[in-house]
Amino acid sequence: MRDSLNLLSGKRKYLSGALLLTFISLICVAFRMAGSRDFDIARREVLLRRIGHEVLLQSGDSTSRVLPVKKVSGNEYQVSFENAFTFQPDSLVNITRRLLAKDPLADKYVVNVVNCSDASVTYGYAISQANKDDIIACLGRKQPTGCYRINIKFEPTGIITTKDGYFLGSLSLLAFVGFVFLGTGSKKALPGSPELPDLSDLPESLDTDTITLGAITFDAEARKLMMNGNSIELTKTETRVLLIFALSPNEIIERSRLQKEIWEDDGVIVGRSLDMFISKLRKKLEVDPDVKIVVIRGKGYKLAIGA
């Protein structure tokens, strides 16, 4: 009898300790989620400025400012610009989709380009990360130069909070079940439950970001250019040369810098090699007449993007 009471007392102490540890774990996870969400929202504003920056570059403007991002409402932001500009709907859709894919809270959003004068909507579209509810129209219709603002409205974060609630509830149940099975010394899985996969040998995710150059999409990781469903393969050196230009569009790149960054690591610098690769890249970029590598006499080269 005494042994039974001691056993019962021990189980009660164990369960009390397990519940206390579970409660502490849930509090830690909840604070971590809240902090992570605050960080993601702050990071979102940086992504929105990046969108404005790339939109101006696509219009051929590399000097005017992107004005401070404004929070219009709880889940709507506005990107404004210092000067008038033009834009292509195709490029705008590609830029926002690529950059906002890095925002974990941006499951769905609506983009409206409005006129500064009367706030009328010039162009708009809706994006879903699942790609099932996208609403995109009027692609290929270049917009006239004007004063525009870009309004981006995200799906309310309340849905995210609900998902977090389900997650916390599930975590509580899993933690309790885990404590029970650890306490009994059982190392076996629940009857009928599938074995967990071994994730240790999965490859690390690669950075597959692409760069939009006019109507061309440049995938440096895959070494290719893509436009209208067609792709053009690039060599390793062609990719390295184009990447330097793509990271500084409409800016002069000195010839000596290109030679140094591409060939000096190999211990050899050959002047004519650069001319050859520039010539090959020019031919491959001819699919979009608005994207050209031009010679700046006495200085170097420039990747000119614009009308």
Phi and psi, residue 278, nearest 5°? -60, -45
Instruction: Examine the pLDDT at 281 and tell me if it is beyond 80.
Output: yes
Distance from C-alpha of 60 to C-alpha of 214, rounded to nearest angstrom: 10
Strand ranges in the chain using DSSP code E only, listed in sequence order: 70-73, 76-79, 108-115, 121-128, 148-154, 211-213, 216-219, 224-227, 230-233, 252-254, 291-296, 300-305
Determine the pLDDT at residue 172.
56
Distances (CA, A) of 284 to 126, 148, 247, 302: 32, 33, 18, 16
Sheet holding 230-233, edge to edge: 211-213, 216-219, 224-227, 230-233
The average pLDDT across 167-181 equals 55
pLDDT at 58: 86
pLDDT over 60 at 179, yes or no: no
Nearest to 254 by CA among 298, 292, 299, 303: 299
Q: What are the tens digits of pLDDT across the range 188-212?
A: 444 444 343 333 333 333 344 689 9
Mean pLDDT of the chain, nearest integer? 76
The domains found in the chain, sorted by start residue, are 1-184 (no CATH), 211-305 (1.10.10.10)
- Residue closest to 153 by CA, chosen among 91, 105, 201: 105
Q: How far apart are CA 34 and CA 184, in angstroms?
A: 35
In the predicted structure, residue 142 carries a pLDDT above the cut 50: yes
- At 134 the pLDDT is 80
Backbone angles phi, psi at 113, to 5 degrees: -95, 120
pLDDT value for 251: 92
Q: Return the higher-pLDDT residue of 18 and 164.
A: 18
Who wins on pLDDT, 136 or 140? 136
Residue pLDDT, tens place only, 72-128: 888 899 999 999 999 989 889 899 988 888 887 778 899 999 999 998 998 989 988
For the segment 271-282, the average pLDDT, to the nearest whole number, is: 82
| pLDDT on residue 143 | 87
Residue 147 has pLDDT above 60, yes or no: yes
Task: Compute how many other C-beta atoms are within 10 angstroms of the C-beta atom of residue 46.
Answer: 12
The DSSP secondary-structure symbol of 115 reads E
Whether the pLDDT of residue 4 is over 50: the answer is no
What pLDDT score was predicted for residue 217?
Answer: 93
Mean pLDDT on 63-72: 90
Whether the CB-CB separation of 299 and 251 falls below 8 Å is answered with no
217-235 tens-digit pLDDT: 999 889 999 998 899 999 9
Instruction: Give the residue, 151 or 131, on which the prediction is more confident.
Output: 151
Determine the pLDDT at residue 168.
Answer: 54
- Residue 255 pLDDT: 87
Instruction: State the pLDDT confidence band at 1, using cuts at 50, 70 and 90.
Output: very low
